[in-house]
Structure 1
Amino acid sequence: MRAIWKGAVSFGLVSVPVKLYSATESKDISFRQVHAKDGGRIKYQRICSLDGEEVAYADIAKGYETEDGEMVILDESDMADLPATSSREISVEKFVPSEQIDPLLFEKSYYLEPEKTGAKPYALLRQALLDADRMALVTVSLRNRMSLAVLRVRDDVIVMQTMMWPDEVRSPDFGSVDVEDAKPAEVKMATMLVETLAGDFDPDEFEDDYREAVEALVKAKIEGGEIKAAPAAKKTGGEVVDLLAALQRSVDAAKTARGETPEPANPAKKTASSSAKKSVAQEKVKKTAKKATKKAAKKAS
């Protein structure tokens, strides 16, 4: 594994230098959108919804949409004024009973590995958490934003789990759970069912059937020769057409600004004009060739 962050756990006057590792990884099957005919990947452009133009990354800003649909644009100077921190400290705020932390608040999990100089205080913190049966409620700066998290022990390793802020947890605002009390006989039967299915959790008993089925399907298609090697994407005339259209719009806008009326687009007229220009050019070449022949004949005589 590769460490993604380095810092120190601070509690009281004790500081534990640590490295941070992602404790989980997603193995969900992901698909690409492709052209069914040839397997070519589908590309997407950054198109402005107002003028229909493609927007360069340099021209993209952050926008905050209000409840009434208005858009507030924030530039880099606005973002620089926001509270942010790049502290390398995992600061312990308090040690709380484990049962007080609702698992619904947990987000992402990380392993904490001690640096060589922090091995002893690391072991001290780990043992203290185990003996007290508590979690350390901490604040930590990740990606320049302050986050709430907890430290707990798993398999002799201290794990940090980032948490959602309390106001990010929604209330179950629906009335379908307000049912009448169950009858004693029904409760007894439900309890018997729970006891019948009781057991210990063994993660090795469970597997992702969907992922394995997709991988088997893909493998079978590869072995059966059902695979397409999509050719490298080629530039098409569409880019030129878009450029010409953009230039035409620019010309029209300039004429409008001068009070002139833009000429309507007429493909047939453009074709005829192009043919006429080509004919004029060919006539000029012929005349030039005749003049050169006459000059050469005079010199020879």
Structure 2
Amino acid sequence: MRSIWRGAITFGLVNVPVKLYAATEDHDLSLHQVHDADGGRIRYQRRCEICGRVVDYQHIDRAYDAGDRTVVITDEDLKTLPVEKSREIDVVEFVPTEQVDSIRLERSYYLEPDSKSPRSYMLLRRVLERTDRIAIVQFTLRQKTRLGALRVHGDVLLLQSLLWDDEVRQADFPSLDAEVKLQDREVEMAESLVRSFESDFSPADYTDEYQVQLRQLVEAKLAQGDAVDTEQTFGRQPEEAAGDGEVIDLMEALRRSVAANREAAEDRKTKAKGA
């Protein structure tokens, strides 16, 4: 696997340097569009609707359609946003595992220790295991600020990006308001049917049959010579470079973080009494 991001998990004064890897991948065959008459590759062009010219990517800005007005946002504009340059996975709070609804989960990433000593990484993993908590974090990836859940997955820390609250739709269906009377016999028969299918989930038992048959079709066409000569169109993307962050003494960082949190809690109590 190739790391796609390097940075550090931070909670209090504790710094955990990590590398981030995509934990999942798409197994579908990548298919291109071609002309049915001669097999020529169909490509999409970035063409300006005003001058009609094909525009190189370096001359393309982003824009927001505000109805009767459009706001153009340049790369220079985006560089003024401080969160874009952040390389920290900032722990905001630790919450009970059951409070993170699976509907909010988006993409998953493995985190690997990125320092000479993985001590702080192992400490965070052990604490999450013993407390049965998930760390709610904020981080920036591919120019987007993201919310995430940091938890233990086997021997590694797993970062899962979460949908923001306003990205989860409410299931407001009028049909669910209708009163439906279920007979006891119907429920019992349904439960019996469920029990007949009961088993332990094993992901390896399931296969994407469509993709298997598609690959067999491609291989058969290649074996029969039913193919055309094409140029390689994809190149490797360079790995993001990042310097190693300074790591302070772990125990001292823990002591200072706990003391700072206690002091903040005392200040809040004092302000509450004086109010």
Could you say which TM-score interval applies, normalised by the shorter chain? 0.7 to 0.9
Contact kept, 8 Å, 1:17 with 1:117, in 2: the verdict is: no
- Whether the 8 Å contact between 1:16 and 1:118 is mirrored in structure 2 is no
Q: Which secondary structure state, in structure 1, belongs to the residue aligned with residue 10 of structure 2?
A: strand
Contact 1:6 1:88 in 2 (8 A): yes
Deviation per residue, 1:106-140 (Å, 9 max, x gap): 11111111134341221221121112111111111
Indicate the residue corresponding to 1:84 in structure 2.
83
Deviations 1:90-114 (A, max 9, x none): 1211111111111111111111111
Alignment of 1:100-179 (within 5 A): 100-179=99-178
Instruction: Note if contact 1:40-1:231 (Cα within 8 Å) is conserved in structure 2.
Output: no
Unaligned runs of 5+ in 1: 233-301
Moved more, 184-193 or 116-125: 116-125
| Bigger mean CA offset, 222-231 vs 94-103 | 222-231
Does structure 2 retain, via aligned residues, the 8 Å contact 1:89–1:140?
A: yes
| Contact kept? 1:38, 1:228, Cα under 8 Å | no
Aligned to 1:20: 20
SS at match of 2:210: helix
2:191 matches 1:203: no
- Deviations 1:215-244, CA, capped at 9 Å, x for gaps: 001111111221223699xxxxxxxxxxxx
Per the alignment, in what secondary structure is the counterpart of residue 72 of structure 2?
strand
Using the alignment, how far apart are the partners of 1:195 and 1:69 within structure 2? 58
For 1:49, the equivalent position in structure 2 comes to 49
- Aligned residue for 1:117, secondary structure, equals coil
Of 149-158 and 181-190, deviating more is: 181-190
Q: What is the rounded CA distance, in whole Å, between the counterparts of 2:25 and 2:13 in structure 1?
A: 34
Structure 2 CA distance for partners of 1:174 and 1:30, relative to 1, 3 Å: farther
1:192 equivalent in alignment to 2:192: yes
State the alpha-carbon separation in 1 of the partners of residues 84 and 117 from structure 2: 24
Structure with bigger RCO (C-alpha 8 Å, 6+ apart): 2
Measured after TM superposition, the shift of residue 196 of structure 1 is: 1.6
Report the residue type matching 1:62 in the other structure.
R
Mark the CA change 1:17 to 1:221 in structure 2 (over 3 Å): closer, same or farther: same
Say if 1:52 and 1:4 are closer, same or farther in 2 by CA, change over 3 A: closer
Percent of aligned pairs with the same amino acid? 45
More helix by share: 1
Contact 1:139 1:148 in 2 (8 A): yes
- C-alpha distance in structure 1 between counterparts of 2:91 and 2:11, whole Å: 5
Post-superposition offset of 1:187? 1.5
Name the CA distance, whole Å, in 2 between partners of 1:2 and 1:82: 28
1-side partners of 2:76 and 2:157: how far apart? 39
Are the structure 2 counterparts of residues 140 and 194 from structure 1 closer, same or farther at C-alpha, using a change threshold of 3 Å?
same
Q: Would you say the 8 A contact 2:18–2:115 is kept in 1?
A: no
For the 8 Å contact 1:39–1:229, the answer to whether it is kept is no
Is the CA contact 2:135–2:151 (under 8 Å) kept in the aligned structure 1? yes
Cα distance in 2 for partners of 1:42, 1:130 equals 51
Count the aligned residue pairs: 231
Taking a change above 3 Å as real, the CA distance of residues 60 and 17 of structure 1, as seen in their structure-2 partners, is: closer
Distance 1:118 1:92 in 2: 21
CA distance in 2 between counterparts of 1:143 and 1:229 reads: 35
Matches within 5 A, 1:28-43: 28-43=28-43
**Match of 1:216, SS?**
helix
Is contact 1:96-1:137 (8 Å) kept?
yes
Normalised to the residue count of structure 1, the TM-score between the two structures is 0.70
Name the CA distance, whole Å, in 2 between partners of 1:37 and 1:153.
53
Q: Is the 8 A contact 1:17 1:118 kept in 2?
A: no
Q: Distance in 2 between matches of 1:122 and 1:75?
A: 38
Q: Secondary structure at the match of 2:174?
A: coil
What secondary structure, in the 3-state scheme, does the structure 1 residue paired with 2:29 have? coil
Deviation at 1:176, TM superposition (A): 2.8
Structure 1 Cα separation of the partners of residues 208 and 181 of structure 2: 37
Q: Is the 8 A contact 1:86 1:142 kept in 2?
A: no
